Structure 1
């Protein structure tokens, strides 16, 4: 038995060594690395990238449960939402800018600078004496988290072959679903036990350990040729996105309707200027010309489907089940947990299978079909069923989404020249994030207006809480449950239709197989078989 175990261990070490030698040999032959990647160094690299990706993703979720405490102690309840919005907006705005900078100056430099800024901003947030200070710190955190997220994916793309990449991307991509699962609970525990400041300071020990690993493990990667930076594109995109987010956040308030309309007009003008700037720029931050590649176009469309069709609805699932199924806040969280767990399982599974076989097209086809079917069933489910029924349905939706969540990043990276890796990775993440942000705001508006319109006289939508509804008589509870079901059903139908669009995009993706060679396909051709 011991001999057999030792044989298996030796074989595993030999396989790891062979894989690391292959990665290093390929990268050195292209002039990418200054040092070879040993098996130990490869493991440390993955550990470092996974840790910082988790920290960046965790800061999206861990702060939510401490917001009320933070706002109360700093005395600025009216600005509380900007603690979250500032982080999300800053990370979205910087995605294309940092993606292009990674191509120009090298992903290692952007990654290390982003990590140092993230840790400094976390320290500053914990010491914030005012809400304004905290919001500025959160903006800096968001800016640096964009660099951590993007450069983690870009670095793995530069030091692995397309065939090896899916399994590593799946491991790094697991940071986001894990952060969704543990973030709110962890944030509440830290706030109750140590104080809200430690929600930010807890990043420091993990971040410093990841920084030490990163300095050693991340190899030197030669940047692309020095090129002019697309300053006009960066400025117009920033103005457009900030104006769009402000408009979406202002529209629900009747007093801000004029401001929202002006912001919408500014966003439209800035986006038009951005498109013109990108079409004329020799090195645009968002390379529209690459969309002529069917593989790239389909993968970016699928990335948008994830943001629009999945990430947008997750935030509203607890409210829906508290009102329609009359569950407690704790129990209502089981449905999004089931959804995210499905994403985590299928994300890891599809990544390892794609690395082993080289085939990828079946995963987005099957995944979008499962997502569309699951959301269609959610639209038809009557209220009052046992909670395990919608949990199972949303678990299937999560399985479908996770099947191509990280995989399409690998596919799109493999379809462009090496010098465009950072830009195309940023663009793929950008459409996902914008889709989630805008659709989340739209769903919130639809639910708010729909519920207010259907509630009978005597019930005020503005003051309607789950606790209040649960205290009403049974007939009134049934009425409110039916209203929420009627309002959410069209939302589920619309999101199912979004996944159908994704299914078509997946079918249009060319047949291909991930290559064992590091050099990607031409930007005008599909991934080679």
Structure 2
């Protein structure tokens, strides 16, 4: 759970720090990449970690993920340019993907599906806590210390987690003669990266223009890469993402729901703190504190739904309710403006959190319960992969829409008030909340309105996506939850009843061995007594013979 918290925390910790970071490193026009690159890297490696865990065990992939994440956190903290920071964020994601997926797979290995709800609920709550604690910590570090501490804080936590996992995480490991699908992994990385580049094209180039040969080539390359990936996976003996999983309706429906959750949730979380700071004048730390209601909503519904699922065995209703609430809340969020009261904003994010808490871990549980026990890691990673793809594409599209609208608005503002930014510190690419608050009123008011006008309409693009997820939730086929843990089903462990029987049998064997040892000792003592008696008799006979002589 601690490892999942670390990975989830890093998706959101720069939300409140991002305006300061991009202002300091001159990256306003490409700010979405700080979030997108991390999510992209997480998504690409998830299927690899899942398959590696299924083939060789989860312990060593888990340790590698912790180490990679910790080293990259140090690198991100020392980054001197925006490009360096984006690179280290990508490497962080390569470790973070393993932390996130392997923690869920390990729970599935040791806890039966019927009991898993009370564990998955707190894990979902922890995910929500990280989503909110991230902006809070990021804001506190930025206000009180330096935004770089948002990355450095991972170093001691990562080292402690690595030590604990090394000495206490005892899981079965085994050598498999099966080879990892390297070609499939490469094609997956290429196809996913190309898809993200298409989604972020507007923020990189300025507009989508189908007469641009580069864009056409990129779209064509993306399609070809995905087609080749599917062909390779259909033929691979151990595919990274088995196409046969999509014949399972529970997996397919739950995975699509996860995808639209990712598109909606991360897009909202990534840019709400920025909006609060730039449009409402909220401080960095305060903008993080204003995410606490969302944490409360996620924790409340995740834990409550997990306990209820364990008691009743029913989970479909929670997915339906969660998607319905999340969709309605996004419609409500299209009304956000610079004059919004903090009470109304807090209520919005609380309700959004409550909806997400009901559905996030529920769909993962449904997938794990519906697939072959030997593919729990692969199926879990595939489900999470598409959620992260949704998050990456959703964040990229939302960032493109928001940033392009924002840049146009800011250019107009600076064109209307040219003298106010003559000093150069108020250039559009270098705006920070601190700079905005020191600007003359006409320019400051124009920038505030620009952020408000750019953000709220962008939420409308997410509403249809979540509405699709809401409809699909009705089609989840509810299967009775299994009473057998993953390792037991695979023959790598035993059930509690079998364990008791084995212990009783072992106790009987030990008792029998002890009796045999005791009997052997008695026999040896008897032999020793007989051996000692013979010399005495001989001596007596000798004395008798001598006397007769």
What is the alpha-carbon distance in structure 2 between the residues aligned to residue 169 and residue 471 of structure 1?
51
User: Unaligned regions of 5+ residues in structure 2, if any?
Assistant: 417-426, 490-549
Q: 2:477 aligns with which of 510, 514, 522?
A: 510
What is the alpha-carbon distance in structure 2 between the residues aligned to residue 470 and residue 127 of structure 1?
30
Verify the 8 A CA contact 1:470 1:477 in the aligned structure 2: no
Q: Shift in Å at residue 410 of structure 1?
A: 1.6
Q: 1:234 aligns with which of 148, 170, 185?
A: 185
Verify the 8 A CA contact 2:251 2:370 in the aligned structure 1: yes
Match of 2:319 in 1: 364
**1:145-184 to 2 correspondence within 5 Å?**
145-184=96-135
Verify the 8 A CA contact 1:326 1:470 in the aligned structure 2: no
Match of 2:542 in 1: none
What is the alpha-carbon distance in structure 1 between the residues aligned to residue 45 and residue 71 of structure 2?
18
Q: Alignment partner of 1:422: what SS? A: helix
Higher relative contact order, structure no. (Cα contacts within 8 Å, ≥ 6 residues apart): 2
Q: Shift in Å at residue 420 of structure 1?
A: 0.9
Normalising by structure 2, we get a TM-score of 0.73
Match of 1:113 in 2: 64
Deviations 1:240-295 (A, max 9, x none): 22223334334224479754543333222211211222223232211222122221
**1:263-342 to 2 correspondence within 5 Å?**
263-321=218-276, 332-333=287-288, 336-342=291-297
**1:84-483 to 2 correspondence within 5 Å?**
85-123=36-74, 137-187=88-138, 189-190=140-141, 198-221=149-172, 226-254=177-205, 258=212, 259-321=214-276, 332-333=287-288, 336-379=291-334, 384=339, 386-450=341-405, 463=428, 467=436, 472=441, 481=449
Q: 1:380 to 1:54 in 2, by over 3 A?
A: closer
Match of 1:20 in 2: none
Q: Shift in Å at residue 516 of structure 1?
A: 1.9
Normalising by structure 1, we get a TM-score of 0.75
Verify the 8 A CA contact 1:417 1:519 in the aligned structure 2: no
Is the counterpart of residue 496 in structure 1 residue 447 in structure 2?
no
What is the alpha-carbon distance in structure 2 between the residues aligned to residue 469 and residue 85 of structure 1?
31
Q: 1:222 to 1:413 in 2, by over 3 A?
A: farther
Q: 1:373 to 1:78 in 2, by over 3 A?
A: closer
Verify the 8 A CA contact 1:350 1:363 in the aligned structure 2: yes
Q: 1:77 to 1:400 in 2, by over 3 A?
A: closer
Verify the 8 A CA contact 1:323 1:469 in the aligned structure 2: no
What is the alpha-carbon distance in structure 2 between the residues aligned to residue 129 and residue 317 of structure 1?
26
Moved more, 401-410 or 220-229: 220-229
RMSD (Å) for aligned C-alpha atoms: 4.0
User: Unaligned regions of 5+ residues in structure 1, if any?
Assistant: 1-49, 523-529
- Max radius of gyration: which structure? 2
Q: Shift in Å at residue 211 of structure 1?
A: 2.7
Q: Shift in Å at residue 377 of structure 1?
A: 2.9
What is the alpha-carbon distance in structure 2 between the residues aligned to residue 90 and residue 479 of structure 1?
33
Verify the 8 A CA contact 1:311 1:436 in the aligned structure 2: yes
What is the alpha-carbon distance in structure 2 between the residues aligned to residue 370 and residue 108 of structure 1?
38
Verify the 8 A CA contact 1:360 1:513 in the aligned structure 2: no
Verify the 8 A CA contact 2:322 2:357 in the aligned structure 1: yes
Q: 1:512 to 1:216 in 2, by over 3 A?
A: same
What is the alpha-carbon distance in structure 1 between the residues aligned to residue 223 and residue 258 of structure 2?
23
Q: Shift in Å at residue 505 of structure 1?
A: 1.2
What is the alpha-carbon distance in structure 2 between the residues aligned to residue 207 and residue 138 of structure 1?
16
What is the alpha-carbon distance in structure 2 between the residues aligned to residue 283 and residue 377 of structure 1?
45
Q: 1:188 to 1:85 in 2, by over 3 A?
A: same
What is the alpha-carbon distance in structure 2 between the residues aligned to residue 319 and residue 124 of structure 1?
24
Q: Shift in Å at residue 217 of structure 1?
A: 3.5
Q: Alignment partner of 1:508: what SS? A: coil
Q: Shift in Å at residue 395 of structure 1?
A: 1.5
Verify the 8 A CA contact 2:136 2:289 in the aligned structure 1: no
Q: 1:341 to 1:128 in 2, by over 3 A?
A: same
Moved more, 332-341 or 128-137: 128-137
Verify the 8 A CA contact 1:369 1:400 in the aligned structure 2: yes
Deviations 1:69-116 (A, max 9, x none): 878999999998766554333222111122111111111221122223
Q: Alignment partner of 1:515: what SS? A: coil
Q: 1:382 to 1:155 in 2, by over 3 A?
A: closer
Match of 1:46 in 2: none
Match of 1:3 in 2: none
Deviations 1:2-27 (A, max 9, x none): xxxxxxxxxxxxxxxxxxxxxxxxxx
Match of 2:8 in 1: 57
Q: 1:460 to 1:174 in 2, by over 3 A?
A: farther
What is the count of residue pairs matched by the alignment? 470
Moved more, 430-439 or 79-88: 79-88
